[in-house]
Amino acid sequence: MKTASTLRNFDDLPNAAGVDVKTVAALCGCSSSTVWERAKRGALPKPIKIGGNARWNVGELRKILLREPA
């Protein structure tokens, strides 16, 4: 899924879905490198590696995004 399409449809994604670093960066209003840094220090969930690609769990992201303003 492309980032723009994923962002438009984020609310409709199931909690079990995974999104890429560009989508997380857009949701948080930061750069991809900042997403990685935040995941490393625990401010964002750690990604799951699937076939060499990193994916963040939508349900975990929702918990973070609802708790803290972006």
CATH number at residue 41: 1.10.1660.10
- 31 or 64: which carries more pLDDT confidence? 31
Tell me the C-alpha distance between 47 and 5, whole Å: 20
Query: Is position 9 within any domain?
Result: no
Query: Is position 45 within any domain?
Result: yes
Q: Cβ distance 47 to 40 under 8 Å?
A: no
Query: Is position 61 within any domain?
Result: yes
Query: Is position 2 within any domain?
Result: no
- Chain segment 8-57, per-residue pLDDT in tens: 899 999 999 999 999 999 999 999 999 999 999 999 999 999 999 999 99
Overall domain count for the chain: 1
Query: Is position 57 within any domain?
Result: yes
Relative to beta strand 18-19, strand 48-50 is unpaired
Could you tell me the residue range of the domain that residue 48 belongs to?
A: 16-67
Angle at 27 between CA 22 and CA 30, to 5 degrees: 70
